[in-house]
Copies of this chain bind each other. A is one copy, B any other.
Amino acid sequence: MKRCPPLGDPAALRALQDALYVVGGKWKLPIVQSICNGNHRFRDIERSIPGITTRMLSKELKELEMNGIISRTVHADIPVTVLYEPTDYSKVYGPIIMAMIEFGLVHQQKMKAR
């Protein structure tokens, strides 16, 4: 039998599923990317992600905030402005992002070669 990923531990599997939940879905990554790229306002983020609706953006931002990935601060100007920013915590995100990009690129090559 070939070498295989270290998924023996049930706790590891749960951690994995959790990570998948936090990072998964259609819009989470594009949103994080957008914010990290300098878009901090709702409208800016919205316009930077083709196809997303306000409903989805609102919902996903809420989840990302609850998971501590981004922060939301309201400035009581008129009209109100709201700033979304990556938290320090979002850094622990880095390795997984890198690993997934790595995997994705390798996988694209692998698939193209057939």
**Residues in A lying within 8 Å of B, measured CB to CB:** 1-8, 11-20, 22-24, 29-30, 32-33, 35-38, 67-68, 85-108, 110-111
Contacts and interface: CB of A to CB of B under 8 A. Distances in A.
Q: How many copies does the complex hold?
A: 2
A89 to B, nearest CB: 7
A105 B68 CA distance: 14
B88 A19 contact: no
A97 to B, nearest CB: 4
Q: Is the interface of A mostly helix, strand, loop or mixed?
A: helix
Contacts of A86: 1-5
Contacts of A18: 104, 107-108
Contact of A1 (B1, B85, B102): B85
Nearest to A21: B104
